[in-house]
């Protein structure tokens, strides 16, 4: 009868499987975050590109390693590496995505704003949305097409529609699929 030379063999196997599972959870969270950031950048308004390039992901755990501030298209470098300790995995909120521009609430149609022509034409956006007309209210995308010089590069309520209309879920699912395809990397998370 063969006796294992490693007395902790079963314990080590369980730890290895647990570590791999936690790394996979981290990989899924990071890929999904990246895909949501890119989706927001593609669906939102783009005039100069500043709003599109100002999405950031912030880790909410105590032992997260910050992602780098970047621009569209976003990559995993822009998403923080999360701690994958059991305590941190049980946190309800691990990553928060937000836009850092001072006018983010206006660009997301959450509050009205005052608009001035910036002196340059809008750059092309992936959604190719562009309307010209008269602003009906103070909301950015509330434009009645026809006569008028007001312009919009994303439809009214684009953010609300992104979150509740299925594109958010599609971005999450795309991130999950990508996480399954990518190989394990040692620096995907912090194990302590």
* Domain layout of the chain by residue ranges: 10-190
Q: Distance between CA 63 and CA 53 in Å, rounded? A: 26
Q: Which residues of 89-117 are buried (b: 16+ CB within 10 A; e: fewer)?
A: beeeebbeeebebeebebbbbeeeeeeee
Say how far apart CA 20 and CA 26 lie, in whole Å.
Answer: 10
pLDDT over threshold 50, residue 171: yes
pLDDT for the residue numbered 191: 43
Q: How far is 163 from 159, CA to CA, in rounded Å? A: 6
* pLDDT higher than 90, residue 135: no
Pick the more confident residue, 65 or 182.
65
* CA pair distance 188, 81, nearest whole angstrom: 6
CA 46, 147, 154 angle in degrees (round to 5)? Answer: 20
Which pLDDT score, from 0 to 100, does residue 192 have? 44
| CB-based contact 156:48 (threshold 8 Å) | no
Lowest mean pLDDT among 2-6, 38-42, 99-103, 158-162: 2-6
pTM, two decimal places: 0.83
Judged against a pLDDT cut of 50, whether residue 187 lies above it is answered with no
Residue 3 has pLDDT above 60, yes or no: no
Residue 162 banded pLDDT, cuts 50, 70, 90: very high
What is the C-alpha to C-alpha distance for residues 174 and 176, in angstroms, rounded to an integer? 5
Mean pLDDT confidence for 130-147: 87
Check pLDDT > 70 for residue 152.
yes
- φ/ψ of residue 173, rounded to 5: -65, -40
Strand partners, 98: 56
């Amino acid at each position: 009868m063969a006796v294992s030379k490693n007395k902790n063999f079963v314990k080590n196997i369980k730890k290895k499987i647990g570590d791999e599972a936690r790394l996979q959870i981290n990989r899924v969270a990071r890929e999904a975050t990246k895909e949501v950031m890119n989706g927001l950048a593609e669906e939102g308004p783009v005039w100069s590109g500043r709003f599109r390039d100002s999405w950031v992901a912030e880790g909410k755990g105590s032992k997260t390693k910050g992602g780098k501030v970047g621009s569209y298209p976003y990559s995993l470098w822009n998403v923080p590496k999360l701690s994958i300790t059991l305590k941190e995995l049980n946190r309800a909120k691990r990553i928060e995505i937000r836009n850092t521009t001072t006018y983010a609430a206006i660009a997301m149609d959450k509050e009205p704003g005052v608009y001035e022509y910036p002196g340059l034409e809008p750059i092309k956006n992936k959604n190719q949305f562009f309307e010209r007309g008269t602003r009906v209210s103070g909301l950015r995308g509330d434009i009645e097409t026809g006569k008028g010089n007001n312009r919009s590069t994303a439809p009214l309520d684009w953010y609300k529609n992104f979150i509740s209309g299925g594109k958010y879920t599609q971005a999450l699912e795309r991130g999950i699929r990508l996480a399954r395809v990518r190989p394990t990397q040692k620096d995907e998370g912090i194990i302590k």
